[in-house]
Amino acid sequence: MVAMIIDPPDSHYFLAAEGWLELGNPKEALNELKGVSKLYNNDPDFLELLWKIYAELKDWEKAYEISLRLIIVAPERPSGWINRSYCLHEMKETQKAYDLLLDAAEKFPSEEIIAYNLACYSCQLGKLDEAQCWLTTAFLMADKQEEMKEMALSDPDLKPIWDKIKNM
């Protein structure tokens, strides 16, 4: 949904891009987003949508660059910090993803997805006890704990602790 206030036709391009992304067509979403005026290139909502598109395209380098821009223009939004580490993890730089997200956990102590992702990264780094602690923290923060538990039990990053998750 468009949170920024923009006038047509820019708002139409933005909404169309969101629609294409929801329909599973990130290439068409990117084409629509190209119609948005350059005036909005550093708008946080624009950057978040652009990041989602590149993430769907699995273009992690471009998604990473966008996450860095988002951190600069909206450091109060956890999404840039989360997305940056996610990109690094996908680019096989899990230790760096973990280290940077650990800093973000201090900045955003109530963000459950940060704790969840730290559990994933810890698990992939072989820190299984730490992964379980982070996951417990994420569960405690989550409004929908059962949904998060189901997500964790299907997340390949957490596979080494699936048996422990079943008993959480």
Select from 85, 108, 131 the last residue of a domain. 108
Taking 70 as the pLDDT cut, the residues of the chain under it are 1-5
Cα–Cα distances (Å) from 53 to 15, 92, 159, 164, 166, in that order, read 13, 20, 27, 34, 33
Claim to verify: residue 139 and residue 67 sit in the same structural domain? no
Q: Tell me, what's the pLDDT at 4?
A: 56
pLDDT digits (tens, 9 = 90+) for 89-134: 999 999 999 999 999 999 999 999 999 999 999 999 999 999 999 9
Claim to verify: residue 128 and residue 85 sit in the same structural domain? no
Claim to verify: residue 67 and residue 82 sit in the same structural domain? yes
The reported pTM is: 0.91
